[in-house]
Amino acid sequence: MNRLSVRLGVVGVVSLLAVSADLMPAESLMSPAEARSRTPVRRTTSSSDTGILASASRELASIARQATPSVVHIQSAHRSESGGMLEETGSGVIVSGMAVAGTYVITNRHVIAGAVPSGIEIHLSDGRVLRPVRIWVDDASDVGVMKIEEHGLQPAAWGDSSTLEIGDLVVALGSPFGLSQSVTLGIISAKGRRSLRLGKGKAVLNQNFLQTDAAINPGNSGGPLVDTSGRLIGINTAIASSSGGNDGIGFSIPSNLARHIADQLLQKGHVQRAY
């Protein structure tokens, strides 16, 4: 049995492999007599079905257009304990309307951990590259925040993650395997996931994850999960995988929790907890 592990969706050096597959026609698995006796089934699609699909496609395209400008690709570099340089990539989302006025990028702590502002590049959807002027991280929730100063930015609209229901459609955006501005579709599979062992670093104690089957892969970490109105309802953080890639089980920090953590970091420089 393959061991299922929960992996943080951050990617270092990645190689893309092209894989081809030869598909055998179904009829070749039957005898000639069976193939002759089989009656072809004519598939029809009504005009109403076509209209529904076309409408749904337009809605999803609209969500992607609305959300994409607030999604960023992050490259960070920091020294390892042995003294060598480590480079990591992840995703983030531009936000405003925080407890402290300004424009910020919310991401995961593990995407920018150990890096200084000069070692971080924030790549915008329009090709501009910024560096943060200040960063904050919270180990217990795996939330990272970066302050940016630039004109013409489009922050994401905040959603209310407490209103989500299991089965709600959601869209994940980010840079899986470094492929920026990627968009995937799924549903909320579960809520309130806890006691997950994330990666090999410090334990993430403040857990209340949303579970989704929207494809999340290494490099998606810190990117947004949005609802069908394009509003930010989660920060993509980790995957449960037996292969290292997407197996249809991803985890996101609810937007309400991420916003609360970020507000405390901006106001106090740390998160005040009872423990």
Instruction: Please state the separation of Cα 77 from the chain's center in Å.
Output: 20
Q: Among this protein's residues, is 151 annotated catalytic?
A: no
Any domain includes 245: yes
DSSP line for 147-192:
EE--SS--PPPB--GGG--TT-EEEEEE-GGG-TTEEEEEEEEEEE
Residue pLDDT, tens place only, 51-84:
888 888 999 999 999 999 999 999 999 887 787 8
Would residue 227 show up in a list of annotated catalytic residues for this protein?
no
Q: Report pLDDT digits (tens) over 93-112.
A: 999 999 999 999 999 999 99
pLDDT of residue 6: 55
Query: For residue 25, is it within any domain?
Result: no
Quick: pLDDT tens for 155-210.
Answer: 999 999 999 999 999 999 999 998 999 999 999 999 999 877 766 555 677 779 99
Residue corresponding to tokens 């990666």: 199
Q: Supply 273's token pair.
A: 């907890």
Set 70, 141, 221, 241: catalytic member = 221
Range of the domain at 70: 66-155
> In this structure, is residue 44 part of a structural domain?
no
Average the pLDDT over 230-244 and give the result: 88
160 a catalytic residue: no
Same domain, 115 and 202: no
Task: Select from 89, 124, 155 the last residue of a domain.
Answer: 155
pLDDT above 60: residue 219: yes
pTM for this predicted structure = 0.81
10-42 tens-digit pLDDT? 554 333 333 323 332 333 333 444 444 555 556
| Residue 54 within any structural domain of the chain | no
Dihedral Cα 191, 192, 195, 196, nearest 10 deg: 40
End-of-domain residue from the set 155, 185, 206: 155
Catalytic residue among 73, 76, 91, 110: 110
b (16+ CB within 10 A) / e for 132-150:
beebbbbbbbbbbbbbbee
Dihedral of alpha carbons 124, 130, 135, 137, sign:
positive
Q: How many domains are contained in the chain?
A: 2
Q: Which of 105, 138, 155 is the last residue of a domain?
A: 155
CATH number at residue 219: 2.40.10.10
Q: Single out the catalytic residue among 138, 142, 213, 227.
A: 142
Looking at the fold, whether 204 and 253 belong to one and the same domain comes out as yes
